[in-house]
Amino acid sequence: MFGFGKKETKTPEERLADLQKKKDWAGLAKAYYEMGTAAMDGGDLNRAQLWLHRADTIYSADDAVYEKVGDKLTDDCSERIGALEDEELLYNSILSEIEEKAEELEDTQLRVWGLLSVARLVKLGNRLSSLPGCQVLGELGWAVEMMLNSFLKLPSQEDYQKLMDICNGLYELGDSEAFYGGGQIDVPGKAPFQVFDLNGMGVLLELSGCVDSHLRLLAALSQGAADLPRGEIGVVSCALLPDYYVRTLGGKPEDAPQIKAELARIWSDYELVRSGGLLSEAAKRISQYQELDILQ
């Protein structure tokens, strides 16, 4: 027996890579959906969260892909995602905790709390910006500094426009092939980090929402409005990056040392802003965070 006619068995990772190389986005969405349903049916809810949300992101980004995938799949995927929202997962519990704590903060404190988290994505964003279509991620450092400084002095029209361009660029990246097409960077001593790992906690949408909220605040202040918009809170959890650890390590993301460290930073930042300290104290911490490699 020479094994003629045997089918070559590919790993899930190889299958995903093939689909990405072919730019078969409908096939990629289906593959993620199948992996998600298998994980969910097997009780691995964290990986179900990971894969099903990836499927949803891909087919929601393009109407043609959505039609190819079909209503049966998208409806079931949505139902499963809805069911996962009721589970005791870090993805859900951390958002509830942040929402509860945010009620005790004034708007500026809330916004600074978010900027502290965004600052921790600067170094990673700079590295990811070298990938095709991801250049906007290299602008996070400038955006953080601009938004922080704007609490003391309203920005120029030129800076306001640049911040708006960053806001739009972050939003557009989340719907682009550059996001889910397989781009990744090396991480010394660890598995590569995929741009798509930012899908967890909706990082790009939350970053875009944070910037958009700040733009609306600046517009209101420049017009002397009395009723000012409140800051977004979802961005506070953006540097957790649970998808990366679920994808590469499995198990519960909260067991990863990097996530434990990030949770500690989130609550330390909360105490800093809640104490009503000077803006200069937050600025100093933001400067330090921009040099932090959160994956190590």
Q: What is residue 238's predicted lDDT score, i.e. its pLDDT? A: 97
Q: What is residue 292's predicted lDDT score, i.e. its pLDDT? A: 97
Q: What is residue 122's predicted lDDT score, i.e. its pLDDT? A: 98
Residue 160 corresponds to which amino acid? Y
Nearest Cα neighbor of 237 from 198, 285, 194, 273 is: 198
Q: What is residue 1's predicted lDDT score, i.e. its pLDDT? A: 41
The vertex-160 CA angle with 155 and 165, nearest 5°, equals: 155
Nearest Cα neighbor of 264 from 120, 86, 157 is: 120
- What span, in angstroms and rounded, lies between the C-alpha atoms of 236 and 266? 7
pLDDT mean for each 10 residues of the chain (296 residues): 55 93 98 98 98 98 97 98 97 97 96 98 98 98 98 96 98 97 97 98 98 97 90 96 97 96 98 90 97 95
CA torsion angle 118 238 95 260 (round to 10): -100
Nearest Cα neighbor of 270 from 89, 102, 93 is: 102
Helix (H, G, I), strand (E, B) or coil at 8: coil
- What span, in angstroms and rounded, lies between the C-alpha atoms of 118 and 103? 20
Q: What is residue 7's predicted lDDT score, i.e. its pLDDT? A: 54
Neighbour tally for 292: CB within 10 Å: 18
pTM: 0.95
Residue 251 φ/ψ region, left for φ over 0, alpha for ψ in the -120 to 50 degree band, beta for the rest: left
Length of the chain: 296
Residue 3 φ/ψ region, left for φ over 0, alpha for ψ in the -120 to 50 degree band, beta for the rest: left
